[in-house]
């Protein structure tokens, strides 16, 4: 029914990347306050991204011919989990490195690969992903933004919303309709690459409840795109997006969004000698350990060319549940001693994670959508 995932170890040659990454992060990130690091993969720092590029750590799995390092997905797992564990500000290059680069490598033309991939690897091309629209959230197939064929390429009209960091990205890869009507659902959708500097594009940042700005609304008004804006095949956008999401769902970023808070609390408990919360701490660590083992096992399947969509959905749902549980449990633990003040940085980290935690089970497919996918995999739908 659900075949067991064989327990997998990270190969030693990939594990070997950990020490240099740790040393680099100790110099560049560790000294930042927890209140900054807690933003995890939402923290934006173009300078930091370029430093990673200079180390050769962007596009790690991409071929050398395109500026990558041709390393295995396990090496990337090591790099990414260390970045997340310390709370490095990775947002600038995050989407390009995680999704856009691999997507272009898989579906792009030779010219597209030559153009985009080396710049992604240097930290010079930041990407965002245009999926949601004002009336298309979980029901993604209902998108209405449309690119119409012209003599020279495509003319784009429409609107995207909740796009992360569109106002400071160079490119957007958007899911738009290129043929048919909204009633055609999954048919007639395509992915296009949009240079966000083109005329006719307006980007409006939207502030979130933690007073950060990463969300954006993007308006396309008669935007003229070249022929090669299309990525992959016309009308194959849905299949391409679905494959992309399987990679996205089981990664370490679905486990570690609250880890800077968890580690700040661990340090606090060690410093104060407080031992009464050992069971609560152990519970979170145990859940994280099992999830990490599952995430690595799924990655091995992905690396072998399989597409464990259900398993990935399952790990994401469990992972976000844990990420959301961490601030609840820590608040309860800290508040069980009302006479003791909470250290300022720990409180800032707790406040931030508590505020943004609902987003953990919205982004990349809501909890209810994921559970529906699992049910389908179980043969119930």
Partner 1 sequence: MTDLLRDALERLFASQASPAQVRAIEDGGDAGPLWAAIEEGGFGHALVPESADGAGLALADVFPTLMAAGAQALPVPLGLTMLARALLAEAGEDVPEGAITIATDPDAAWRCAGLPYARTASWALLACPDGFALAPMGDVAPDAGQDRLSGDVAFAKPARRVANPTDLRAMAASVLAAQMAGALVRVFEDTIRFANERVQFGKPIGKFQAIQQQLSVMAEQVFAARMAAELAFSGPGLRPDPLRAAIAKARAGEAAVRACATAHAVHGAMGITEEFDLQLLTRRLHGWRLGYGADGYWHARVGQAALAETSGGTLDFIRTRLMY
What's the min distance (Å) between Cβ of 244 and partner 1?
Answer: 22
Q: Is 378 in the site for partner 1 (CB under 8 A)?
A: yes
Among the residues of 108-157, which ranges form H helices? 110-122
Query: Which of 255, 99, 130, 267 is closest to 192 using CA atoms?
Result: 130
Find the binding residues for partner 1 in span 75-114 (CB under 8 A): 81-82, 85-86
Q: Which is nearer to partner 1, 12 or 275 (CB)?
A: 275
Q: Mask of contacts with partner 1, 312-351, x by CB under 8 A?
A: --x--xx---------------------------------
Contact status, residue 105 vs residue 120, Cβ threshold 8 Å = no
Q: Is 31 in the site for partner 1 (CB under 8 A)?
A: no
The single residue among 109, 202, 290, 307 that binds partner 1, judged by CB under 8 A, is 290
Find the binding residues for partner 1 in span 227-266 (CB under 8 A): 256, 259, 262-263, 266
Contact status, residue 45 vs residue 38, Cβ threshold 8 Å = no
Burial class (CB in 10 A: 0-12, 13-18, 19+), 235: middle
> Which helix (H) or strand (E) is 203 found in, with range?
strand 201-207
End-to-end CA distance of the chain: 14
Q: Is 379 in the site for partner 1 (CB under 8 A)?
A: yes
Number of residues that bind partner 1 (CB under 8 A): 51
What's the min distance (Å) between Cβ of 1 and partner 1?
Answer: 6
Contact status, residue 208 vs residue 215, Cβ threshold 8 Å = yes
Q: Is 33 in the site for partner 1 (CB under 8 A)?
A: no
What's the min distance (Å) between Cβ of 33 and partner 1?
Answer: 16
Burial class (CB in 10 A: 0-12, 13-18, 19+), 97: buried
The single residue among 278, 335, 337, 344 that binds partner 1, judged by CB under 8 A, is 278
Q: Which stretch binds partner 1 (CB under 8 A): 142-150, 192-200, 203-211, 372-380?
A: 372-380
| Rounded Cα distance, 7 and 4, in Å | 9
Q: Which is nearer to partner 1, 190 or 277 (CB)?
A: 277
Contact status, residue 160 vs residue 206, Cβ threshold 8 Å = no
Q: Which stretch binds partner 1 (CB under 8 A): 63-71, 179-187, 270-278, 352-360?
A: 270-278
| Rounded Cα distance, 45 and 31, in Å | 15
Give the Å distances, CA to CA, from 284 to 265, 270, 301. 12, 16, 26
The single residue among 54, 65, 289, 328 that binds partner 1, judged by CB under 8 A, is 289
- Binding residues for partner 1, rule: CB under 8 A, are 1-2, 4-5, 7, 9, 81-82, 85-86, 256, 259, 262-263, 266, 269-270, 275, 277-294, 297, 311, 314, 317-318, 368, 370-372, 374-375, 378-381
């Amino acid at each position: 029914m659900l075949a067991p995932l064989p327990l997998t170890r990270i190969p030693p040659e990939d594990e070997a990347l950990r020490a240099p990454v740790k040393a680099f992060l100790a110099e560049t990130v560790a000294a930042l306050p927890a209140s900054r690091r807690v933003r995890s993969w939402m923290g934006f720092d173009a300078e930091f991204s370029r430093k990673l590029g200079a180390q050769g750590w962007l596009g790690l799995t991409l071929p050398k011919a395109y500026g990558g390092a041709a390393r295995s997905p396990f090496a990337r797992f090591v790099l990414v989990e260390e970045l997340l564990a310390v709370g490095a500000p990775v947002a600038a290059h995050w989407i390009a490195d995680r999704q856009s680069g691999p997507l272009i490598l898989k579906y792009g033309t030779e010219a597209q690969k030559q153009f985009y991939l080396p710049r992604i690897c240097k930290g010079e091309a930041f990407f965002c992903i245009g999926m949601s629209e004002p009336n298309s959230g979980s029901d993604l197939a209902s998108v209405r933004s449309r690119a119409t064929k012209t003599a020279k390429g495509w003319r784009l009209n429409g609107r995207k919303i909740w796009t992360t960091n569109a106002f400071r990205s160079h490119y957007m890869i958007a899911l738009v309709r290129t043929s048919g009507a909204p009633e055609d659902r999954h048919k007639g959708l395509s992915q296009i690459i949009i240079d966000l500097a083109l005329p006719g594009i307006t980007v409006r940042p939207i502030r979130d409840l933690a007073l950060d700005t990463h969300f954006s609304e993007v308006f396309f008004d008669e935007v003229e795109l070249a022929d090669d804006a299309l990525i992959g095949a016309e009308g194959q956008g849905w299949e391409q997006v679905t494959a992309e999401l399987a990679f996205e769902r089981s990664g370490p970023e679905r486990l570690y969004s609250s880890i800077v808070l968890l580690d700040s609390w661990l340090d606090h408990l060690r410093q104060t000698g407080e031992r009464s919360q050992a069971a609560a701490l152990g519970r979170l660590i145990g859940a994280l350990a099992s999830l990490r083992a599952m995430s690595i096992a799924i990655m091995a399947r992905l690396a072998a060319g399989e597409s464990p969509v259900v398993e990935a959905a399952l790990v994401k749902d469990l992972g976000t549940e844990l990420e959301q549980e961490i601030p609840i449990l820590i608040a309860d633990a800290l508040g069980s001693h009302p006479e003791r003040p909470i250290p300022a940085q720990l409180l800032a980290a707790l406040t931030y994670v508590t505020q943004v935690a609902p987003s953990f089970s919205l982004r990349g497919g809501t909890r209810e959508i994921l559970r529906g996918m699992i049910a389908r995999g179980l043969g119930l739908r």
